Amino acid sequence: MVPLSILDLVRVTEDTDARGALDNARDLAAHAERWGYRRFWVAEHHNMPGIASAATSLVIAHIAAGTTTIRVGAGGIMLPNHSPLIIAEQFGTLARLFPGRIDLGLGRAPGTDQLTLQALRRSPSAADTFPRDVLELQAYFEPASPGQRVQAVPAAGTNVPLWILGSSTFGAHLAAELGLPYAFASHFAPEQLLPALEIYRSRFKPSKQLDRPHAMVGVNIIAAETDAEARRLWTTQQMSFTNLFRGARGLSQPPIDDIEAYWSPREKAQAMQMLQRSIVGSPETIRAGIDALVDETRADELMVVSDVYDHGARLRSFELIAAVNKAGSRANMTTEACQ
């Protein structure tokens, strides 16, 4: 059984406002905890009316307060948008409030468009110092040294675990060099998944945080009772990707019966290139898809995105995914016992 985690988009839909999206995320995390998911992450996105996780550390606090054991974190914080000191203060505070449960995934992209980047008062060149900023942030989480003049209070000594996120090979190189766990965003950027994992594993250097490579693979999985129903639920995500190409940043839309009537052939090709590793279908289809992905990537963990419009259907999707994963593990144990 490969460990499963969740990346939640905190979607604002045509039927929910931002508060509803935040409460739905917290409710999903509580269910995920019972179903055996390891982590529950949210990501920093700005100027996107359909995503309510811009104030990422506050959203993490809201979710962590509604759960007791599941790890909660950022997947991720776009570090070039921030001072490392400020992020250390925020996540050090979270670690004090929820000890042993906070993760901090770090990305190099701005998580928004160039105009919004200007509104954030950050320079596009801030990404150039990302490796140095990661090291500075990491140092703030270590115990304070005698005479240290700048401390991230109350972060010192919390040792919040850092992750490097990536959608290209850059992050793979950095995670390997720093000896940090690596999460690849193949749920929207699948092209360089295998080369990035190879670079990460082959060049990994052990560190105080991690003695061997740990690779997490992001994947879209939408499960329902039948393949047809799952494919219908998937149209919400397909429309969202299509809208990105159209420059339309709206709310999440309910599923439709005919996605071909929504997108043009070019838009379909663009969206499906990004969604090509998605696993969509009945429990049997999901089981085969997970097995194939893990066999191909040797992933240590999967970070699941199940971008389903209706909250009840989304809960059911994640419940089926967890059940399929556990059933697969039991089947493997039975097979091994018979050999």
pLDDT one digit per residue (tens) for the chain, 339 residues:
899 999 999 999 999 999 999 999 999 999 999 999 999 999 999 999 999 999 999 999 999 999 999 999 999 999 999 999 999 999 999 999 999 999 999 999 876 777 887 888 777 778 889 999 999 999 999 999 999 999 999 999 999 999 999 999 999 999 999 999 999 999 999 999 999 999 999 999 999 999 999 999 999 999 999 999 999 999 999 999 999 999 998 999 999 999 999 999 999 999 999 999 999 999 999 999 999 999 999 999 999 999 999 999 999 999 999 999 999 754 553 334 344
Q: In the 8-state DSSP scheme, what is residue 161?
A: P
Task: Using the structure block, give the residue that is written with the tokens 């590793």.
Answer: 277
0.85 surpassed by pTM: yes
Dist. CA 14–CA 189, nearest whole Å? 27
Please say whether the beta carbons of 137 and 79 come within 8 A: yes
Tokens representing 163 are 């992750």
Q: Does domain 4-338 have CATH number 3.90.330.10?
A: no
Q: Give the model's pLDDT for residue 336.
A: 41
The CA distance from 57 to 19, in Å, is 16
Which one-letter DSSP state was computed for residue 190? -
Give the CA angle between residues 293, 299, 304 to the nearest 5°. Answer: 70
Predicted pLDDT at 339:
42
Give CA–CA dist 84/158, Å, rounded.
Answer: 15
**In this predicted structure, what is the pLDDT of residue 329?**
54
Rounded CA separation 64/98 (Å): 7
- Give the whole-angstrom CA distance, residue 88 versus residue 102: 12
Task: Count CB-CB contacts under 10 A for residue 265.
Answer: 8
Rounded Cα distance, 74 and 106, in Å: 8
On the CB side of 147, CA atoms within 13 Å amount to 0
Element (H, E) at 42: strand 39-42
179 DSSP 8-state letter: T
DSSP string, 253-318: ----S-GGGTS-HHHHHHHHHHTTT-EEESHHHHHHHHHHHHHHH--SEEEEE---SSHHHHHHHH
At residue 299, the pLDDT reads: 98
**Burial class for 297, CB neighbours closer than 10 Å (0-12, 13-18, 19+):** buried
β-pairing, 279-281 vs 215-223, is parallel
The C-alpha R_g of the chain, in whole angstroms, comes to 20
